Amino acid sequence: MAIFRTLRSASLLALSGLMITSCISPPDYPETPEIEFRRITKERISDATGTYDKVVVTVSYQDGDGDLGLRDTDTDPPFNVTKPDNTLNPDGYNYICRLQVRDANAVFQDIVFSPNDPGYDGRYPRLTPDEQGDRKAPLKGEIDYNLQIFKNSVLRTGTVLRFKVKIKDRALRVSNEVITDPITLQ
């Protein structure tokens, strides 16, 4: 009788556990990625390439279908970096990072690069877990984006700057835009 009660209790416990886990559903994020600014860090580096400020911008993301990031081999249209006419393809980059510099009136101004210069835009790697394959599933996490800021005629010691950031998914849906905290170049 005691064995029966123990087995019955174990069966009820297992059954209730099964019912609880079957009620848990994946998060419901939109298919367009959403980001939030987390932090920006800066470190002065001197190495073989010169002296520069290493800047790391961290954003958190969530995406409903998990189609974030590109592989190094993702170079065919629409992810090719240049178009057939050798102009820059804006869809070749999935991390859009616009530089802003504070002027003498304490107003941040966009720095515009030449049409064939991606500026600080770049690519972040595929974030979809390999075991997920091409199956759609929500993703949530953080992206650390590394930048090297070398001094030049615009970016001098004491320059205060910040970045406007957006990301794209593989369907070319663009996230909201976030603005980092300002940093000062050493």
Which range has the worst mean pLDDT, 71-75, 143-147, 169-173?
Answer: 71-75
pLDDT at 57 over 50: yes
pLDDT tens-digit readout, 92-147: 999 999 999 999 999 999 999 888 899 999 999 998 766 666 778 899 999 999 99
pLDDT at 173 over 70: yes
Domain ranges of the chain: 29-184
Class of domain 29-184: mainly beta
Q: Is the pTM of this model over 0.85?
A: no
3-state secondary structure the chain: CHHHHHHHHHHHHHHHHHHHHHHCCCCCCCCCCEEEEEEEEEEEEEECCEEEEEEEEEEEEEECCCCECECCCCCCCCCCCECCCCCECHHHCCEEEEEEEECCCCCEEECCCCCCCCCCCECCECCCCHHHCCCCCCEEEEEEEEEEECCCCCCCCCCEEEEEEEEEECCCCECCCEECCCEECC
